């Protein structure tokens, strides 16, 4: 035991030294979409004609979707030292737990990232519950979005009773260690925390990066004015106005690149002697005053500009694995850096996607949206821990869900756990999403039984899973019924909910055969993804106000990638209090006769996706 370990044993922190920390699995990342480019695999997409009847808010772009694996584990020895060229590079937006994401990125990105900025949850819970506005004008309502089951389970891992400090420390230590591995020798990490756990984080960072690599603690002013009296009540005595931003270098090779330019005060305080190179950054605010997104803890652009300019140069890779509203990725792009952003929350990933699509340089800098492949955490735990105990509790979990669903437990399969009528049932783990790969594995087992009906019960789903459902139906003749496990089961609520379907859209198609024009008009949108939806009186709400974003490919080909020819999303209006709804109508004129496949992707206000897919023949 070395000195530091002995000292640390006095803290309520126990570090999980050694091998145990390597227990977390490495998952593959699946590339999903938003590959914004007119050049895909060397083939240039033909720009589509703009449609005259679509309302002007509907935007045109060339965006593509693809679905394949990003082979992050295959370390390319040739490019490792040379680094990937800017032309080959695609920025990455990844949905999932950053522990698995970072571990999965190690193969390709170890020793590659110049700056990691993170602003992890502070134990205030403020970014777990988000007030989401629905509708416009007087009819506007808000619904509080509670964390998804996956997020709830993840947060329990950080703030589990009775010893928060210990669980927080383990949680943070594992992630900080991975960031250390991802950073270049000349790289930096900037970590924002508040008074709750900042001190623990500092000790952990000292441990991982070395005390001599600690550069400074910047003092960040949260806002110019206290947000509300609530803060005062909460703290009882004083309003907390500052956060800490700890800056470490990976090695002494890391040198500051830019300079901090502070705003000259018109009426300088004679007692304060602030200079450009001191650590008191009170001339700017840490949270955004004029918010770009509906995200509650949006960091300020000025803060990110300052830290990114100080620690990186154009073309460097800047990453944020707690990306929230995407301030880091937006500023990195503005400053001509490459970026990697990740977040556990679907809502956040959707906010970032919109933010990056709106960015004026979105066509110049393509980005890929990635999901982790099937987590299958219980199988990993089975490998690692007490097998019998876990197998038994897993079985009880399946039986509990099946009882609520009215199905029976079946033994002897890896990916099928129940049956109901003539269908087999696959159940997702509570801390995992259902992915197309997971569904395919269940289908493979189903086929061996000569069956063709599969019910999936999941807590959360891979983005665009509905689109894959169509492919399973058409290509493999398997009827897949995707259901959500109601969140009320998690809270042990006596309030029994049905297992709802994934969101879907009812829409009408008007075809003008002579003019070869197709018009889509949205009629009704149905989303039951969220528990709090039950609290809303749907008679009072225009269901189309629940749509946050949609995109359409007028001529999808399976060999090809999804191209978002038209899209629209709700935006914060000029008055900032007004939300402008997404458009609900679009049309397209086809130049050539023939068979066309149309794919429409819709994201609801909570960040959940669904797709519609149909064929049309123009003679």
Ligand X SMILES: C[S@@+](CC[C@H](N)C(=O)[O-])C[C@H]1O[C@@H](n2cnc3c(N)ncnc32)[C@H](O)[C@@H]1O
Which listed residue (149, 187, 324, 458) binds ligand X by CB under 6 A?
324
Contact 571, 561 (CB under 8 A): no
Of 160-168, 215-223, 322-330, 521-529, which segment contacts ligand X by CB under 6 A? 322-330
Of 276-284, 316-324, 499-507, 556-564, which segment contacts ligand X by CB under 6 A? 316-324
Binding-site string for ligand X from residue 154 to residue 173, where x marks contact by CB under 6 A and - marks none? x-------------------
Q: Which pair of tokens denotes residue 373?
A: 């492949």
Dist. CA 202–CA 248, nearest whole Å: 10
* Pick from 542, 506, 546: nearest CA to 529: 546
CB of 76 to ligand X, least distance (A): 26
- By the rule CB under 6 A, 431 interacts with ligand X: no
| Longest Cα separation, the chain | 83
- By the rule CB under 6 A, 295 interacts with ligand X: yes
Cα pseudo-dihedral 306, 308, 310, 313, rounded to 10: -140
Which listed residue (34, 65, 312, 325) binds ligand X by CB under 6 A?
325
Q: Which pair of tokens denotes residue 470?
A: 């169509």
Q: Which pair of tokens denotes residue 62?
A: 């060339």
412: left (phi over 0), alpha (psi -120 to 50) or beta: left
Residue placing its CB nearer to ligand X in the complex, 97 or 528: 97
Of 339-347, 383-391, 512-520, 581-589, which segment contacts ligand X by CB under 6 A? 339-347
Of 195-203, 321-329, 391-399, 451-459, which segment contacts ligand X by CB under 6 A? 321-329
Rule CB under 6 A: which of 447-476 touch ligand X?
none
Dist. CA 103–CA 321, nearest whole Å: 12
Contact 177, 27 (CB under 8 A): no
Which listed residue (344, 369, 547, 582) binds ligand X by CB under 6 A?
344
- By the rule CB under 6 A, 119 interacts with ligand X: yes
Of 113-121, 218-226, 262-270, 466-474, which segment contacts ligand X by CB under 6 A? 113-121
CB of 333 to ligand X, least distance (A): 14
CB of 320 to ligand X, least distance (A): 6
Which listed residue (316, 343, 419, 460) binds ligand X by CB under 6 A?
343
Which listed residue (97, 243, 431, 612) binds ligand X by CB under 6 A?
97
Tell me whether the omega of the peptide bond preceding residue 497 falls within 30 degrees of 0, making it cis. Answer: no
Residue placing its CB nearer to ligand X in the complex, 127 or 601: 127
Residue placing its CB nearer to ligand X in the complex, 157 or 488: 157
- By the rule CB under 6 A, 342 interacts with ligand X: yes
- By the rule CB under 6 A, 297 interacts with ligand X: yes
* Pick from 343, 289, 430: nearest CA to 95: 343
DSSP assignment of 172-223: HHHHHHHHHHHEEEEEEEEEEE-TTTHHHHHHHHHHHH-GGGEEEEEEEE--
- By the rule CB under 6 A, 286 interacts with ligand X: no
Q: Which pair of tokens denotes residue 72?
A: 């992050």
- By the rule CB under 6 A, 104 interacts with ligand X: no
Tell me whether the omega of the peptide bond preceding residue 162 falls within 30 degrees of 0, making it cis. Answer: yes
The count of residues interacting with ligand X (CB under 6 A) is: 21
Dist. CA 42–CA 31, nearest whole Å: 18
Which listed residue (98, 145, 169, 371) binds ligand X by CB under 6 A?
98
Contacts of 500 (CB under 8 A, 6+ apart): 483, 484, 486, 528, 529
CB of 198 to ligand X, least distance (A): 13
Exposed e or buried b for every residue in 298-327, given b needs 16+ CB within 10 A?
Answer: bbbbbbbbbbbbbbbeeebbbbbbbbbbbb
Q: Which pair of tokens denotes residue 125?
A: 């819970």
Which listed residue (298, 429, 460, 555) binds ligand X by CB under 6 A?
298
Name the pairing type of β-strands 547-553 and 579-580: unpaired
CB of 482 to ligand X, least distance (A): 24
Rule CB under 6 A: which of 46-65 touch ligand X?
none
Which listed residue (25, 121, 366, 438) binds ligand X by CB under 6 A?
121
Name the pairing type of β-strands 453-458 and 423-427: parallel
Q: Which pair of tokens denotes residue 530?
A: 């969220």
Contacts of 165 (CB under 8 A, 6+ apart): 11, 12, 13, 197, 200
DSSP assignment of 117-135: EE----SS-TTTSEEEEES
* Pick from 172, 27, 180: nearest CA to 105: 27
- By the rule CB under 6 A, 604 interacts with ligand X: no
Nearest residue to ligand X, using CB? 324
Of 324-332, 413-421, 426-434, 577-585, which segment contacts ligand X by CB under 6 A? 324-332
Beta-bridge partners for 39 = 44
Binding-site string for ligand X from residue 347 to residue 376, where x marks contact by CB under 6 A and - marks none? -x----------------------------
Distance of CA 384 to the CA centre of its chain: 28
Residue placing its CB nearer to ligand X in the complex, 431 or 583: 431
Residue placing its CB nearer to ligand X in the complex, 327 or 368: 327
Binding-site string for ligand X from residue 124 to residue 143, where x marks contact by CB under 6 A and - marks none? ---x----------------
Residue placing its CB nearer to ligand X in the complex, 297 or 568: 297
Name the pairing type of β-strands 141-145 and 453-458: unpaired
Which listed residue (309, 327, 376, 584) binds ligand X by CB under 6 A?
327
Which listed residue (299, 362, 435, 466) binds ligand X by CB under 6 A?
299
Residue placing its CB nearer to ligand X in the complex, 325 or 362: 325
Binding site for ligand X (CB under 6 A): 97-98, 119-121, 127, 154, 295, 297-299, 321-322, 324-325, 327, 342-345, 348
């Amino acid at each position: 035991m070395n000195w530091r370990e002995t000292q640390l044993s006095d803290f309520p922190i126990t570090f999980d030294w050694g091998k145990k920390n390597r227990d977390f699995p490495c998952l593959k990342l699946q590339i999903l979409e938003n590959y914004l480019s007119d050049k895909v695999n060397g083939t240039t997409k033909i720009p589509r004609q703009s449609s005259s009847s679509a309302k002007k808010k509907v935007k045109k772009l060339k965006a593509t979707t693809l679905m394949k694996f990003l082979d992050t584990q295959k370390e390319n020895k040739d490019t490792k030292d040379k680094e990937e060229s800017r032309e080959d590079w695609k920025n990455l937006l990844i949905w999932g737990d950053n522990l698995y994401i970072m571990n999965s990125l190690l193969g390709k990105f170890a020793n590659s990232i110049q700056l990691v900025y993170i602003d992890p949850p502070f134990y205030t819970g403020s970014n777990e519950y988000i007030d989401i506005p629905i509708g416009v004008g007087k009819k506007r309502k808000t619904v509080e979005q509670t964390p998804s089951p996956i997020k709830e389970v993840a947060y329990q891992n950080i703030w589990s009773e009775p010893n928060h400090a210990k669980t927080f420390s383990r949680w943070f230590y594992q992630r900080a260690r991975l960031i250390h591995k991802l950073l270049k020798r000349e790289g930096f990490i900037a970590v924002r925390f508040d008074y709750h756990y900042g001190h623990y984080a500092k000790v952990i960072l000292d441990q991982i990066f070395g005390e001599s690599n600690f550069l400074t603690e910047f003092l960040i002013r949260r806002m110019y004015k206290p947000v509300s009296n609530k803060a005062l009540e909460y703290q009882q005595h004083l309003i907390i106005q500052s956060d800490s931003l700890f800056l470490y270098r990976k090695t002494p090779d890391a040198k500051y690149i830019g300079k901090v330019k502070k705003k000259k005060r018109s009426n300088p305080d004679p007692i304060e002697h602030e200079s450009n190179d001191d650590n008191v950054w009170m001339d700017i605010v840490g949270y955004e005053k004029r918010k770009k997104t509906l995200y509650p803890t949006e960091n300020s652009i000025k803060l990110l500009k300052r830290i990114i300019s100080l620690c990186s140069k154009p073309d460097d890779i800047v990453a944020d694995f707690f990306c929230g509203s995407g301030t880091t990725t937006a500023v990195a792009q503005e400053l001509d850096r490459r970026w990697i952003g990740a977040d556990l929350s679907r809502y956040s990933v959707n906010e970032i996607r919109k933010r990056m699509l709106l960015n004026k340089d979105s066509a110049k800098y393509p980005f890929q949206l990635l999901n982790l492949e099937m987590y299958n955490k219980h199988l990993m735990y089975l490998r690692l821990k007490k097998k019998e105990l876990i197998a038994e509790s897993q079985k009880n979990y399946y039986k509990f869900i099946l009882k609520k669903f009215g199905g029976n437990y079946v033994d002897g399969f890896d990916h099928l756990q129940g049956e109901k009528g003539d269908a087999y049932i696959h159940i997702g783990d509570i801390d995992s999403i259902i992915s197309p790969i997971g569904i395919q594995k269940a289908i493979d087992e189903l086929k061996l039984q000569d069956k063709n009906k599969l019910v999936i019960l999941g807590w959360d789903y891979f983005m665009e899973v509905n689109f894959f459902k169509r492919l399973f139906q058409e290509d493999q003749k398997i009827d897949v019924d995707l259901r959500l496990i109601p969140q009320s089961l998690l809270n042990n609520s006596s309030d029994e909910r049905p297992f709802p379907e994934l969101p879907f859209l009812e829409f009408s198609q008007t075809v003008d055969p002579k003019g070869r024009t197709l018009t889509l008009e949205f009629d009704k949108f149905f989303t039951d993804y969220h528990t709090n939806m039950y609290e809303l009186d749907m008679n009072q709400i225009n269901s189309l106000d629940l749509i946050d974003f949609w995109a359409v490919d007028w001529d999808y080909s399976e060999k090809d990638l999804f191209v978002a020819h038209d899209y629209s999303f709700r935006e914060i209006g000029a008055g900032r209090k007004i939300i402008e709804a997404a458009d609900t109508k679009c049309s397209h004129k086809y130049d050539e006769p023939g068979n066309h496949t149309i794919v429409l992707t819709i994201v609801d206000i909570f960040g959940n996706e669904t797709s519609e897919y149909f064929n049309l023949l123009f003679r």
